[in-house]
Amino acid sequence: MFHRFSRLPVAATLAPLLLATAAQAESFSACFARLRDDAGSAGVARASFDKLTATLSPDLSVIKLLDDQPEFKTPIWDYMAALVDAERVADGQARMAQWQESLQAAESRYGVDPATVVAVWGVESDFGRSFGKRPLLTSLGTLSCFGRRQAYFRGEFFSLLKLIEQGDLRVDGPAGADGLVGSWAGAFGHTQFMPSTYQRLAVDFDGDGRRDLVGSVPDALGSTANFLAKAGWKRGQPWGFEVKLPEGFDAALAGRRNKRPLADWVARGVRTVDGRSLSAKAGEGADAAGVLLPAGVKGPAFLVFGNFDAIYGYNAAESYALAIAHLADRLRGGGPLLTAWPTPDPGLSRAERRELQTLLTARGHAIGEIDGMLGAASRKAIQAEQQRLGLAVDGRAGQKLLGLLRAAPVSVMPAKAGIQKD
Ligand code: CA
């Protein structure tokens, strides 16, 4: 979760540590002297501040990430194909069985159903597999002193120090405070909360007296449910569902915020995809809904209720909220979307991305680890193959390129993996 600064879940870039120049190092220590003065009023004891920041040096690669415009915009069908794939559904269903007791307790306390909570966990950290790789104090310390959002990141930095000081987070492992890692912007743990969100909304759900979103799955699940409840989740209400629009639907009526009573949508010819009536499907007490068209009137359409907005509150992107919502449906046994995305070249699951990377490696491209994440090195290899095959050279891989590479295997020795890791 990192509001407004979009965090692509498919390619976690880990740029090499950028060392500061002498002038930058000097300005960093001057900045930290000021932060030390402010620590007290931010609720952090001087002694903790000194202990935790004594050896910090800036990592300016995070400033580069803060300023980077993503050079590659992920189409919604690629985003959904990678986030809601067969692997994640199977993983999520296994987690629902494994953590049934905590999930039921979270539902009875906060009103959020197990599938929704597990879907957030699966999208945020792949069920605890990927927390991010950057030392949090280094990233947040750097962002507090350089770049264009210093005031915001200072708040996050102090929140993190407080979480450590309070004992919620432990830094007594072999790596010390460097063992506390997350995204470059400071989101971390199973639920990828920012430190201030953690401070505000994390709960101790396993009863050990600490709110530990790094080491405790029950704490993470309870905290996710608490977040959604505070964001306005209504117990027993649906997030929404896929619908069919009438011919000539006025796209100007669409929009998550453009909510109307169900009867109004019925009168305008909006139908369910399974033949049930809209109101039966929405259930009793369903409030007004908006029509969401993530890919325009030719793509899948959804009727979305207030609970969709609660998910949106977790990470302000409609594509994100839709991935969580649809994954939750699939975890409950629901099927894929019935309307195809409006593209002749659908997106790839993570298994298909790994297969593509394997085929690219076999063709001599150095893309490093076969990890299913299509980062810069994979895209370079994709472009080279697009060029060779006479396709549009856009660096995007879908079913079409995968099919062509599958059909024409080569027996070139794989290039040495390594240097150009994504
Ligand atoms: Ca706990």
Task: List CB-based neighbours of ion ligand 1 within 5 Å.
Answer: 204, 206, 208, 210, 212, 216, 219
CA of 171 relative to ligand 1 center, distance in Å? 16
Q: Is the pLDDT of residue 220 over 90?
A: yes
Q: Is the pLDDT of residue 417 over 90?
A: no
CA of 222 relative to ligand 1 center, distance in Å? 10
Q: Are 250 and 222 in contact (CB under 8 A)?
A: no
184: tokens are: 């470059």
Q: Which pLDDT score, from 0 to 100, does residue 325 have? A: 98
CA of 59 relative to ligand 1 center, distance in Å? 31
Q: Is the pLDDT of residue 56 over 50?
A: yes
Q: Are 92 and 119 in contact (CB under 8 A)?
A: yes
CA of 313 relative to ligand 1 center, distance in Å? 24
Q: CA-CA distance, 352 to 372, in Å (whole number)?
A: 8
Q: Residue 71 gets which letter from DSSP?
A: S
CA of 44 relative to ligand 1 center, distance in Å? 22
CA of 62 relative to ligand 1 center, distance in Å? 31
**CA 263, 234, 307, 240 torsion-angle sign:** negative
pLDDT classification of 22: cutoffs 50, 70, 90: confident
CA of 200 relative to ligand 1 center, distance in Å? 15
Q: Which pLDDT score, from 0 to 100, does residue 159 have? A: 97
CA of 184 relative to ligand 1 center, distance in Å? 25
CA of 223 relative to ligand 1 center, distance in Å? 10
CA of 99 relative to ligand 1 center, distance in Å? 15
Q: pTM to 2 decimals?
A: 0.91
CA of 220 relative to ligand 1 center, distance in Å? 9
| Helix axes 376-389 and 399-407, enclosed angle (nearest 10) | 70
Q: Which pLDDT score, from 0 to 100, does residue 418 have? A: 44
CA of 176 relative to ligand 1 center, distance in Å? 20
**pLDDT one-digit tens code per residue, 344-375:** 999 999 999 999 999 999 999 999 899 998 98
**pLDDT one-digit tens code per residue, 290-326:** 999 999 999 999 999 999 999 999 988 999 999 999 9
CA of 212 relative to ligand 1 center, distance in Å? 5
Contacts of 87 (CB under 8 A, 6+ apart): 349, 350, 351
CA of 144 relative to ligand 1 center, distance in Å? 29
CA of 190 relative to ligand 1 center, distance in Å? 13
What integer best gives the mean pLDDT of the chain? 91
Pairing of strands 181-182, 240-244: unpaired
Question: Hey, what amino acid is at 289?
Answer: A
pLDDT classification of 4: cutoffs 50, 70, 90: very low
CA of 145 relative to ligand 1 center, distance in Å? 32
Q: Identify the residue with better confidence: 408 or 135.
A: 135
Q: Which pLDDT score, from 0 to 100, does residue 395 have? A: 93
**pLDDT one-digit tens code per residue, 70-114:** 666 889 999 999 999 999 999 999 999 999 999 999 999 999 999
CA of 225 relative to ligand 1 center, distance in Å? 15
CA of 168 relative to ligand 1 center, distance in Å? 8
Q: Is the pLDDT of residue 52 over 50?
A: yes
CA of 106 relative to ligand 1 center, distance in Å? 14
283: tokens are: 């259930």
In angstroms, what is the C-alpha Rg of the chain? 23
CA of 198 relative to ligand 1 center, distance in Å? 13
CA of 156 relative to ligand 1 center, distance in Å? 21
CA of 393 relative to ligand 1 center, distance in Å? 50
**pLDDT one-digit tens code per residue, 140-162:** 999 999 999 999 999 999 999 99
CA of 211 relative to ligand 1 center, distance in Å? 5
**pLDDT one-digit tens code per residue, 181-198:** 999 999 999 999 999 999
Q: Which pLDDT score, from 0 to 100, does residue 323 have? A: 97
302: tokens are: 């959804």
Q: CA-CA distance, 213 to 87, in Å (whole number)?
A: 24
CA of 98 relative to ligand 1 center, distance in Å? 18
CA of 23 relative to ligand 1 center, distance in Å? 43
Q: Is the pLDDT of residue 3 over 50?
A: no
Q: Is the pLDDT of residue 384 over 80?
A: yes
102: tokens are: 């905590």
Q: What percent of the chain has pLDDT over 90?
A: 80
Give the residue-averaged pLDDT of 22-45.
92
| Domain 70-131+207-233+312-341: CATH class, spelled out | mainly alpha
CA of 296 relative to ligand 1 center, distance in Å? 44
Superfamily of domain 10-68+132-188 in CATH is: Bacterial muramidase (1.10.8.350)
Question: Hey, what amino acid is at 371?
Answer: D
